[in-house]
A and B are shown apart, each in its own frame.
Chain A
C-alpha cells in the first residue's frame, strides 16, 4: 500500500538554526508532492508544491524542498528558522493512479526564541 513517512515527529530548534524535515513515500509512478503547514490556531495551508520540472522548489517564507526521485524523497529545508515557524508540517503525496492524496503523520516544530 502507498504510504508517506515523515522521519521526525517532534523537532526543537533555536532561532537561526537550519531546518531539514524528511519525507519519503512509497509509490513508483507519477506523483505530485506537497508540504502543508498548520500554524497554531490556523488552518492547514500550502507551503510549497512540486508537479514537474526543477526538482528544487521554493515556497513561502523562505522554505524550499528538493525532490529526489531515486530516493522517493521530498525533504523540506529552511536555512534559518524563526520563532514564527513554530507549527506542524505535513508532507503529502498525490498519486496519479487513482487520484489519491496521502498525508504523512506530521512533524511538530518548536523554535525557541
Chain B
C-alpha cells in the first residue's frame, strides 16, 4: 500500500514569494489534514478535509494561506506571500475517518529567507 506522498520535500524561498505544497493521501482515505510543525513542537492543525469539503480551517491564516482538495483526493496548500515566520515543516496526513489513526507523509521543510 502506497503511503501519503508529499512534494516537494524541501523548499527555500525569499520572503514575499509564493509557495505551494502538494499531497496525495492513501487511497480510500476520505479525511485529509494539513499540519504545521515547528521545531520542538507537535503538529498543529491548519485544515482538515472530509472528501472535498474543508470542515475545519479555523487555524488557517486565511490572509495568506489557502488550500484546496478539488476532487476529494489530492490537495494543495499555498502560501502567498510567504513570511519569515512561515519557516517550518508542513505535514500532510490522511485517515479513513476522522478520529481514526492518521498516516503521515514525509513533510515539506520550508525555509523562508
Which residues of A does B touch, CB under 8 Å? Answer: 4, 9, 32, 34, 36, 43-46, 49, 90, 92, 94, 96, 98-101, 103-106
Contacts and interface: CB of A to CB of B under 8 A. Distances in A.
Interface residues of chain B: helix, strand, loop or mixed (majority): loop
Contacts of A98: 56
Interface residues of B, number: 24
B85 interface: no
A105 B41 contact: yes
Contacts of A100: 45, 56
A83 B102 CA distance: 26
A106 B40 contact: yes
Interface string B31-74: 00100000011111100100000011000000000000000000
Interface residues of chain A: helix, strand, loop or mixed (majority): strand
Contact of A44 (B55, B56, B100, B104): B104
A74 to B, nearest CB: 14
A34 B101 contact: yes
Given A9-B40, A106-B42, A99 B101 contact: no
Given A9-B40, A101-B45, A94 B104 contact: no
A99 B48 contact: yes
13 contacts: A32-B100, A43-B3, A43-B104, A45-B103, A49-B101, A90-B43, A94-B100, A96-B99, A98-B56, A100-B56, A104-B42, A106-B40, A106-B42
A90 B55 CA distance: 24
Contacts of A49: 101
Contacts of B43: 44, 90, 103
Given A43-B105, A45-B104, A99 B42 contact: no
A22 to B, nearest CB: 15
A103 B38 CA distance: 12
